[in-house]
């Protein structure tokens, strides 16, 4: 059982070093640049600031939002498993996972807000005229519920109200799974393009969420101990090894799902546009992203690293986590773009085989800003409420 701390002694003064202050300022500066880029895009119009157009309305911001949202869901699930379902091995990671999930959700919705022309209408009409048959309405609502539950859970953990924290956290995990499934449903229920229309998409989204959540908590915990110049041991070491095992398991599952998806596209009843979209990944304009970044760096290499080290080496787990997160980021991008670059009039001979999309500097700056917000939020949390991460039931 970890010790408890009064609210006025949660700051970890060991982290008030000039180096960490400069790093926090650097991340904050990146966040400000991203906000400026997003404000610029909102003023001049998305069609001028972004690389999207009528045929490709979803770009880098949409795929990056999916990355942040699914990682937040995975972190929420890991915290719920550790706190609510009696998996005591994961409990030492739970509080930090809750905090990271909140920061991830905020960063994701920052991108989501910049990806739509009138974000304020989302909040207005989401409440005043809900469409209960729309996946996107349920996704936004349930992600909002998950965020609120995570904030309350974190507050209850700080106040040592573990019963309330477990109950609220379980509700947040259920909302997170529902939100993640509705995010997958945006793709899985879309018959056009056919590459998205697949029941395996829901399995892919949920597995990817747990994968990125496990990778994120491994990296964050290792960095938190490094900046304190401490060695991971005891219960925390067992928790890290458990997270590494979950990471290895989800990597294996996702590898099987990936092979199954693309095999079924060519040997099943997938229509020609779906096969053309798959070929864009296999030997088309997205081939490098798919084979090198998504499959090799994101699935095969981290899985081999974890198998060879038997999930016992923290450094190896950290490297596997970085590779898995990088691969997951490209996987979201490939998924979103591959479903849009196939022309609707593909049967005409004079139509280009693939449409072109490239993110603009503004889009890249906004995504960098979201990562900057994540980095600044993490460091500020470790500095000012750092001792709360040692609290767990």
Q: Which residues lie closer than 8 Å to 152 by C-beta, 6 or more apart?
A: 164, 168
180 exposed, middle or buried (CB, 10 Å; 0-12, 13-18, 19+)?
buried
Look at 235 and 364; give whichever has higher pLDDT: 364
Q: Report the sign of the C-alpha dihedral through residues 119, 123, 124, 126, in that order.
A: positive
Task: State how far Cα 275 lies from the chain centre.
Answer: 27
Q: Which residues lie closer than 8 Å to 37 by C-beta, 6 or more apart?
A: 361, 362, 365, 366, 369
pLDDT at res. 252: 96
The answer to whether 278 and 265 have CB atoms below 8 angstroms apart is yes
Look at 138 and 267; give whichever has higher pLDDT: 138
Residue 244 above 70 pLDDT? yes
How far, in Å, CA of 83 to CA of 150, rounded?
13
Residue 8 above 80 pLDDT? no
Task: Dig out the tokens for 34 from the structure.
Answer: 């991203």
Residue 95 above 70 pLDDT? yes
Q: Does the pTM of the predicted model rise above 0.85?
A: yes
Residue 277 above 90 pLDDT? no
> Structurally, what CATH architecture does the domain formed by 7-248+359-390 represent?
Up-down Bundle (1.20)
Give the tens place of pLDDT for each residue, 314-323: 999 999 999 9
CB count within 10 Å of CB 123 equals 12
Euclidean distance between the first and the last CA atom of the chain, given in angstroms as a whole number: 6
Question: pLDDT class for 97, splitting at 50, 70, 90?
Answer: very high
Q: Which residues lie closer than 8 Å to 86 by C-beta, 6 or more apart?
A: none
Residue for token pair 């995975």: 74
pLDDT at res. 1: 43
Residue 237 above 60 pLDDT? yes
- Cα separations (Å) of 210 from 52, 175, 232? 30, 15, 23
The answer to whether 353 and 345 have CB atoms below 8 angstroms apart is no
Residue for token pair 């500097």: 361
**Percentage of residues of the chain with pLDDT beyond 90:** 53
Look at 296 and 196; give whichever has higher pLDDT: 296
């Amino acid at each position: 059982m970890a010790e408890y701390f009064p609210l006025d002694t949660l700051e970890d003064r060991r982290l008030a070093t000039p180096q960490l202050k400069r790093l926090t300022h650097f991340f904050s500066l990146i966040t400000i640049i991203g906000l400026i880029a997003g404000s610029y895009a909102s003023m001049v119009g998305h069609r001028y600031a972004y690389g999207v157009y009528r045929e490709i309305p979803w770009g880098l911001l949409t795929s990056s939002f999916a990355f942040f949202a699914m990682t937040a869901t995975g972190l929420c699930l890991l915290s719920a498993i550790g706190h609510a379902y009696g998996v005591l091995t994961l409990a030492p990671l739970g509080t930090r996972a809750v905090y990271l999930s909140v920061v991830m959700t905020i960063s994701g919705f920052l991108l989501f807000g910049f990806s739509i022309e009138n974000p304020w209408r989302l909040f207005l009409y989401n409440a005043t005229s809900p469409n209960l048959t729309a996946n996107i309405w349920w996704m936004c609502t349930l992600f909002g519920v998950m965020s609120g539950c995570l904030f309350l859970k974190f507050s209850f953990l700080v106040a040592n109200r573990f019963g309330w924290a477990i109950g609220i956290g379980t509700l947040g995990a259920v909302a997170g799974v529902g939100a993640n499934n509705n995010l997958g449903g945006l793709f899985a229920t879309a018959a056009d393009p056919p590459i998205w229309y697949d029941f395996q998409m829901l399995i892919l989204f949920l597995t990817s969420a747990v994968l990125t959540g496990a990778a994120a908590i491994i990296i964050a915990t290792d960095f938190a101990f490094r900046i304190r110049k401490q060695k991971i041991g005891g219960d925390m070491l067992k928790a890290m090894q458990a997270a590494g095992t979950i990471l290895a398991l989800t990597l294996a599952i996702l590898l099987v799902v990936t092979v199954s998806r693309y095999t079924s596209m060519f040997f099943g009843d997938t229509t020609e546009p779906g096969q053309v979209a798959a070929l864009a990944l296999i030997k088309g304009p997205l081939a490098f992203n798919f084979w090198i970044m998504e499959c090799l760096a994101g699935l095969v290499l981290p899985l081999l690293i974890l198998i060879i080290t038997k999930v016992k080496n923290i450094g190896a787990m950290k490297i596997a986590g970085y590779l898995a997160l990088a691969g997951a980021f490209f996987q979201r991008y490939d998924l979103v773009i591959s479903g849009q670059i196939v022309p609707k009039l593909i049967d005409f001979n004079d139509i280009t085989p693939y449409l072109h999309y490239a993110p603009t500097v503004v889009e890249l700056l906004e995504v960098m800003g979201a990562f900057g917000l994540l980095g600044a939020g993490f460091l500020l949390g470790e500095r000012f409420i750092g001792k709360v991460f040692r609290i767990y039931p």
